[in-house]
Amino acid sequence: MTRYLPLSLAIALAFAASCRAEEPTTPTGPCPPGQFQPGGCPAGQLPPGQYVPPPTSPTATGPSAPPVFGFPCQTDNDLQCPLGRCIAGRCGGCASSADCKQGGMCGWTPIGMACVLGGFQPAPAPAPPPTTGGGPVGGPIGGGPTGDPFAAARQACVDRTNQLRAQVGARPVSRNIAKEPCGDQAARSDGTTGSIHGAFGQCGEWAQNECPSWQGPPDAMVAPCLQMMFDEGPGPGSAHGHYTNMTHAKYGGVACGFFVTSSGKVWMVQNFY
């Protein structure tokens, strides 16, 4: 079975070469309303309430191409499965990064979507110390128990997202716990600068929805914010972008990050994988 290894390595090398060939450039002007430029937008140029649509570049969105058929396998430990999990007797091809092992990610290759190098996920950040009333800046409003102060809000974000996806027949997304600390950092960055989607892409997400400067507490604002996005309904353009991100059939995971400003306003980013 070792004869399959060269093809797997070739796929990874081809993916790396395509990424270098399409390296984004820094834009010289503001982003058009409702659009995202790969190099980023000048601070404040994305109007409040706008969204980042699912990327269309092959190197940014693997879901735009069909998965590689993969190699025959029996278990995840087979030699021909260095990065992909053995699913339904095949490994290597993927629909999302959930089909790949730790250390791999689902990405575009010249022969289709395949598990390639680059998906390492850092361990979650240490839990903050317990609070007693008031709550720290960037922490829960009203204090909270030991452990993750946003645990209830994160789970509510995932549960409500899956309830809404079920209404349109989309498969549920799993909670990507490993990416939540990065989501918190993105929410903190945007909440501090006041730039909606200002940190988009820093967590390796494929698409992002954001709830900027909502009235807290975090676990109470999740449902109304997600409902507002879902109520945009299907359709083209930025007017339906949050709905499109939330119900996209190719996404298999979501990480919800939170930040609370000194004035008590909650910023939430919803990163899709």
Give the mean pLDDT of the chain.
Answer: 74
CA angle 152, 228, 42 (to 5 degrees): 90
Task: Report yes or no on whether pTM surpasses 0.75.
Answer: no
Q: How far apart are CA 53 and CA 63, in angstroms?
A: 13
What Cα–Cα distance (Å) separates residue 97 from each residue in 56, 113, 252?
A: 17, 10, 7
Domain positions in the chain are 2-18+44-119, 151-272
Judging by beta carbons within 10 Å of its beta carbon (0-12, 13-18, 19+), is residue 25 exposed, middle or buried? exposed
pLDDT 10s digits, 69-83: 888 998 888 888 888
**Bridge partners for 267 per DSSP:** 259
Q: How far apart are CA 91 and CA 93, in angstroms?
A: 6
pLDDT 10s digits, 171-224: 999 999 999 999 999 999 999 999 999 999 999 999 999 999 999 899 899 999
Hey, is 132 helix, strand or coil?
A: coil
DSSP letters of 132-147?
-SS--TTS-TT---SS
Hey, is 230 helix, strand or coil?
A: helix
Rg of the chain in Å (alpha carbons): 19
Per-residue pLDDT at 162 exceeds 80 = yes
Give me the CATH topology for the region 151-272. Answer: Pathogenesis-related Protein p14a (3.40.33)
pLDDT 10s digits, 17-74: 444 433 444 334 444 444 444 444 444 444 444 444 444 433 333 345 688 888 899 8
pLDDT score, position 118: 67
**How many CB atoms are located within 10 Å of the residue 167 CB?**
9
Q: For residues 255 and 182, is the Cβ–Cβ distance under 8 A?
A: yes
